[in-house]
Amino acid sequence: MTLTATTVAAFYERLQDDLCARVETLDATTTFGSQPWDRTEGGGGTTRVLEGDGPLEKAAINVSTVWGPVPEKLSDPIASQADEFFATGISMIFHPRNPHAPAMHANLRYFEVDTGEAWFGGGMDLTPYYLYEEDAVAFHSVIQDVCDRHHVADYAAWKQQCDEYFFLPHRNEARGIGGILYDHLTDDLDAVDTFQRDLGRTIGDAYLPILERRIATPFTTHQERWHLQRRGRYAEFNLAIDRGARFGLETEARTESVLSSLPPRVRWDSNAAPKPLTPEAELVDVLREPRVWL
């Protein structure tokens, strides 16, 4: 298949349908709502959000395809040199209800400008609230296997980039236990497109078995409080640091879609810190010193 902006956007739309259907099998009582939207300057997308009483307190799987004049305040150094841009992508977040089940974020995107340049970016990462090392190893193993199938992918380098990016300097903590992150892949775009499709089709395999293992684990009110405190860190990163959220706001995309990644409930308690030698402290230790899982 010859790569075009249209074929990339069509794949993201199919992936959205496939993942929504797969996630809905976890809870037959809840389905994703669908909210199509249009962008005045060109393009639009579909925001699909699941909220209910099931194992996923909130999940969002969104696609967008937007184009038009490059906004003057766009922070991307390459795009800012062009006059017109086209961007398409899929992004998703899963916020489980159970503190023992990790959150997961992933996104795939394609960008081109009228100067003739085009590139791919994307990644996926896991945010546990209680550390299960076997879950971390399983998640990273699936990602590494995908990367090993494609010469354009570099798991080790992209894992390091993920660890460095998903970091809250004001907390001296990572957001989670990583995954991969890549951006501005401009060489051999057909091969990168093939890799991205493979990665996209594997997202469910990397995360959903972990979710299914943990969603019925008993938990206490103390563990739920910790869960909501850690979700506060997630919100801090997305609102203060995340480039994707900033891009959405800079291009005047639908604000509701941009902010759909935020968790539904959070806590900010004064001077909240885990007691030494507890499972909560074990997690924080890992967040302050990224670990090689494989």
Q: Which position has the token pair 């684990």?
A: 217
What are the residues facing 94 on neighbouring strands? Answer: 59, 104
Token reading at 46: 């579909």
Q: Which position has the token pair 């899929």?
A: 90
Q: Which entry of 100, 105, 140, 227 is annotated as an active-site residue?
A: 105
> Are 226 and 280 in contact, with CB atoms under 8 Å apart?
yes
CA atoms within 13 A on the CB side of 202: 20
- Does the annotation mark 105 as catalytic? yes
The β-bridge relationship of strands 179-185 and 43-51 is unpaired
Token reading at 96: 């489980």
Phi/psi zone of residue 44: left (φ > 0), alpha (ψ -120 to 50 degrees), beta?
left
Q: Which residues does 285 contact at the CB level (< 8 Å), separation at least 6?
A: none
- Please give the biggest Cα pair distance in the chain: 56
259-280 in b/e form (b: 16+ CB < 10 A) is ebbbbeebeeeeeeeeeeeeeb
Cβ of 34: how many Cβ atoms within 10 Å?
Answer: 11
> Are 56 and 27 in contact, with CB atoms under 8 Å apart?
yes
227-245 in b/e form (b: 16+ CB < 10 A) is bbbbbbbbebbbeebbebb
Give Cα 113 distance to the centre of its chain: 24
Q: Which residues are known to be catalytic? A: 105
